[in-house]
Amino acid sequence: GRRESRVCTVRVPINIALVKYWGKRDQTQNIPLNDSLSLTINSLHARTTLRVNYEIGTDSVKINGKSQTVTGSRYQRVFEEVRRWERKRKAGEVAEHPVSIQFEITSETNFPVSAGLASSAAGFAAIAECLQKIFGFTDSQKSQLARLGSGSAIRSIFGGLVRWRRGTQPNYEDSIAEQSFPSTHWPSLRALILVVDEGRKEYSSTDGMQRTVETSTLLERRIECCDVNIDKICAAFSNRDFSAMADMIMRDSNNFHAVCMDTSPPLMYLNDVSRTIIRLVHVYNEKNGSTVIAYTFDAGPNATLYLEEDTVQDFLDFATKQLRFAESAQTEVEEILGHKLDES
């Protein structure tokens, strides 16, 4: 008879890179040119439910109540891979056994998805987690599925400081993430996210990366430096040396956006508010006599600030005097999301 459907719900957090992943050496498998490093921000998460029905039907994905296009999407890529694996597995059991699997996903995030806050990382890591639980996949398969959906999702599988190794094996099975340090190693670390623009990003990271790989001459130099920079950040993290870590975080963000500007036509992710935040952070650190806060920007204008707990209130007092806040105006900071890295 027909198999019963299976359901799984998980909660998976976002991560924000300290050394960015930018550039693929394999487009279809999302294999990066460089190692990357991130901090997982546990309090911003996706709560995702996956239902698997063993019947023929249309796959569906709903995020915060809104139905998503599945055909031709990254979701479909993940679903097709699972069907392919199951077909292969079943072929060994019953000859010509057709696999009828239908996927139904509903996901809720506790932050605005449109803000481009690495929501896809949390979402795809959650889907991969559910798929592993339901189908009994190995950890390596789970990583592969997360990565297939969104490269950076592979890092959300772990908490704390996480490194994604680009991998050297021809079959890419060693292009996986690993935890460098648990968040408990540095409990006073905090992240503030300044939502500058809730709008959709101008170019997807996939299109942007491809354009950079094809046109930037600076990218090669960036790729050469990533491993050394990751080692420096890990050493600073190990010693809880905030200023050494912060310096490297800001350098990587600026280097990444320099490479974006070196892309033709240029990828201009930062806007005037982003640049004001960059200046503000440097002024604050200067005023303070040491580097106590760091900024980093992904492929969009929103800032993630890293700092220690005892700096949060003073910086907020300082920043709110300097920055204007508005409901929806594009040129002002809309919202500050403040978060501990680990609340569990």
Binding of ligand PMV by 263 (CB under 6 A):
no
User: According to the binding rule CB under 6 A, does residue 151 interact with ligand PMV?
Assistant: yes
Query: Of these, 34, 143, 150, 175, which contacts ligand PMV (CB under 6 A)?
Result: 150
* 12, 14, 36, 50: which one binds ligand PMV (CB under 6 A): 36
Quick one: DSSP state of residue 56? -
Which residues, 90 to 129, sit near ligand PMV by CB under 6 A? 120
Closest CB to ligand PMV among residues 15, 311: 15
Of residues 196-215, which lie at the interface with ligand PMV (CB under 6 A)? Answer: 205-206
152 binds ligand PMV (CB under 6 A): yes
CB 195 within 8 A of CB 334: yes
Q: CB 309 → ligand PMV: shortest distance, Å?
A: 25
CB neighbourhood size of 7 (10 A): 14
What one-letter code names the amino acid at 51? R
- Greatest CA separation for the chain: 72
Structure tokens at 33: 């040119």
Judged by CB under 6 A, which stretch of 16-24, 180-188, 217-225, 309-317 contacts ligand PMV?
A: 16-24
Contact 49, 110 (CB under 8 A): no
Answer yes or no: are the C-beta atoms of 229 and 248 closer than 8 Å.
yes
Is residue 203 within 8 Å of residue 59, measured between CB atoms?
Answer: no
The residue range among 135-143, 146-154, 214-222, 231-239 that interacts with ligand PMV, by the rule CB under 6 A, is: 146-154
Q: Residue 19, SS3?
A: strand
- Rounded CA gap, 296 and 19, in Å? 9
Binding mask 295-314 for ligand PMV (x = CB under 6 A): ---xx---------------
Q: Which residues here bind ligand PMV, judged by CB under 6 A? A: 17, 20-21, 36, 120, 150-152, 205-206, 298-299
